[in-house]
Amino acid sequence: MITVVRAGPLTTVQDQGRPSYAHLGVPRSGALDGRALRRANTLVGNPSDAAGLETTLMGCTLRFTRAARVAVTGAVAVVKLDKEPVSGVIEVPAGSVLEVGRATRGVRSYVAVRGGIDVEPVLGSRSTDTLSGLGPPKLADGAELDVAGPCEADLPDLVDDIVIADEVELGVWLGPRDDWFAGNELFENPYQVSPMSNRVGCRLTGEALRRVRRDELPPEGLVLGAVQVPADGQPLIFLADHPTTGGYPVIGVVDDVTPLAQARPGSTVRFRALH
Amino acid sequence: MRLRRAGASALLIECRDGDEVEAWRRLVTTRRDAGDLQVIDIVPGARTLLLDGVAPGTDALLAAWPPPSPATSAPAEGALVEVPTVFDGDDLADVAGLWRLSAEATIARLAATEFTVAFCGFAPGFAYMRGHGLTVPRLDAPRPRVPAGSVGLAGEYCGIYPTASPGGWRLVGRTSSSLFDVRREPPALLTPGTRVRLVAA
C-alpha cells in the first residue's frame, strides 16, 4: 500500500493507454512520455504495460506501508528517501517516505513500483484520461494506492531517457490538410510552448499560420501528434488525451511527441519537414 | 475517393458524402476482420475515414481494391437500437419553427426517422446520427450544462449526450438509456453503422 502524502498539482496513474476505441470517441490516453515510463518499469522489473505515476512539474511525496522497489525517470528532479537523496533503482523499506522533487528540467516524472500500481482497469487500461474522465481520478493528498504482486513477464529492453532540451526540434509529416495553408510557414518560424498546454495538447504561440481556405472542415479523425490549426492560426499539437475527432484542419503530424511531454512553457519548438 | 497521409502510420480516406464513408467503413472493417488489412483504429468522420496504425504500403493496397459502392451496399446492415425518447426538449419549439412544422409534426418526423450512426466524438459514446434529412443551426452560445440523456440536433446530425456537459445542440428530448458503460462490450450503445430509432416514450 502507498499513501499519497503530497499529490502535487497533477499526478495521475498512467500506463501505455487504451488504443482501439477511438471510433467510440474514447481517447488513447497513456503516459505522455511513454519512453520514460517504460524505462522506469524496466528498472524495477515490470512489464512495459505496468501502470506507474506521472507527476507534473512539482513531483509528489509517497509513504510506503510495505518495502518496495522503485525507480523514478523523466524530468530532472531531486528524489529523496527519508530526506536523503537517492537515484537509480531505489529499495524502499517499509514505512519510508519517498519524495519526488520539483522538476528542474522537463515537466513530468514517472514513478514505477515493482508490480505496478494496481487500480481497476477501464477498457483495458489503468490510465487517467483528463479529457473524458475515464480511469482513476487524479491523485489527492491522503489517497491510498495498491501495488500489484510482481509478475513474471518478458522484460522490455532498457530504453534511454530522452535528453531534455530548452529547444525542441520536431519532425513533421505534412498533411492531411496542408493544402489549406499558405506556403511553408510552419517550417520557417520558431514557436513557444504556451502555459495553456496540458495532457490534451501542447499549445504553441508564434507567427499565425495563414489559411488559404476559409470554409468549415467537417469533423474528421485525429491522430496522436496532429498539428491542428484553429481559426487564430496558432498551432496545437495533440498529445495522449486528444479528442478522437475534430473540426479544425490538421496541417501536419509530429513523428514523435515524446519531447513535448517534457517541454516547459516558454521553450522553443521548431519544425522540420519529413519526407 | 482520395487518400491523404496523416503521419507515418495513418491514412485519411476522403469521401464524397456520408454514404461513401459508411461504405468504406464496412469494407475496411470486413477486410481487417478477414486478416487482409492491418489497422489499429478505424475512425469515421463526416466526410472521411481515418485508418490509424496501418502498415507501410497500405495506401497501395487500398488503391488496388475496387472502391465500395454505397448504392449497392445493403443500407440496413447494422444492428437496430431503439432509444425510448421523451420529446419535451427546451428547443423543440425553435426547431419546429426553423422547419416550419408544428411541434407534433416535428416529433412525428423524428420518431419516423431511421437514423444511422455516422461517427462518434466529442465524448465517449457521443454518436453523430444522420437520417432526418433537415439541418439545424447550433445555438449561438452553448449551454454551460446539458443533462445526460439529452437528445439534440445540430447541422445534419442528431446526437444524445452520454454524460452531462456543456453543449450547443438544440435539445428536442431526453432518454434514460445508458449511452456509455465501460462494463459493456462494446462500451458505447451507438457505434458507427448502428441504425437507431427514437421511439416516443
pLDDT per position as a tens digit, A95-114: 999 999 999 999 999 999 99
Gap from B154 CA to chain A (nearest CA, Å) = 13
Gap from B47 CA to chain A (nearest CA, Å) = 7
Verify that B113 and B16 share a domain, yes or no.
no
Of the partner residues B40, B45, B182, the one whose CB lies closest to the CB of residue A218: B45
Query: Is there a domain that residue B73 lies in?
Result: no
Gap from B141 CA to chain A (nearest CA, Å) = 18
Q: Which domain holds residue B185?
A: 80-200
pLDDT tens sequence across A243-253 = 999 999 999 99
Q: CATH class for domain A2-147?
A: mainly beta
A174 vs B contacts (CB less than 8 Å): 5
Determine contact: A176 vs chain B, CB below 8 A.
yes
- Residue B140, judged by CB atoms within 10 A of its CB (0-12, 13-18, 19+), counts as exposed
What's the whole-number average pLDDT of chain A? Answer: 95
Query: Is there a domain that residue B70 lies in?
Result: no
pLDDT tens sequence across A3-40 = 999 999 999 999 999 999 999 999 999 999 999 999 99
Verify that B57 and B85 share a domain, yes or no.
no
Write down which residue in B15, B37, B64 finishes a domain.
B64
Verify that B92 and B183 share a domain, yes or no.
yes
ipTM of the complex: 0.95
Number of domains present in the structure of chain B: 2
The band of A184, judged by pLDDT with boundaries at 50, 70 and 90, is confident
- In the predicted structure, residue A44 carries a pLDDT above the cut 70: yes
Of the partner residues A25, A220, A223, the one whose CB lies closest to the CB of residue B123: A25
Verify that B60 and B93 share a domain, yes or no.
no
Q: What is the pLDDT of residue B77?
A: 66
- Looking up residue B87, the CATH number of its domain turns out to be 2.40.100.10
Query: Is there a domain that residue B153 lies in?
Result: yes
CATH-assigned architecture of domain A167-273: Beta Barrel (2.40)
Query: Which range among A39-53, A148-162, A196-210 shows the weakest confidence by mean pLDDT?
Result: A148-162
3 state SS of A262: coil
Q: What is the pTM of this model?
A: 0.95
Output the tens digit of pLDDT for each of chain B's 201 residues: 899 999 999 999 999 999 999 999 999 999 999 999 999 999 999 999 999 999 999 999 999 999 898 755 555 567 899 999 999 999 999 999 999 999 999 999 999 999 999 999 999 999 999 999 999 999 999 999 999 999 999 999 999 999 999 999 999 999 999 999 999 999 999 999 999 999 999
- Looking up residue B59, the CATH number of its domain turns out to be 3.30.1360.40
H or E element at residue B111: helix B103-112
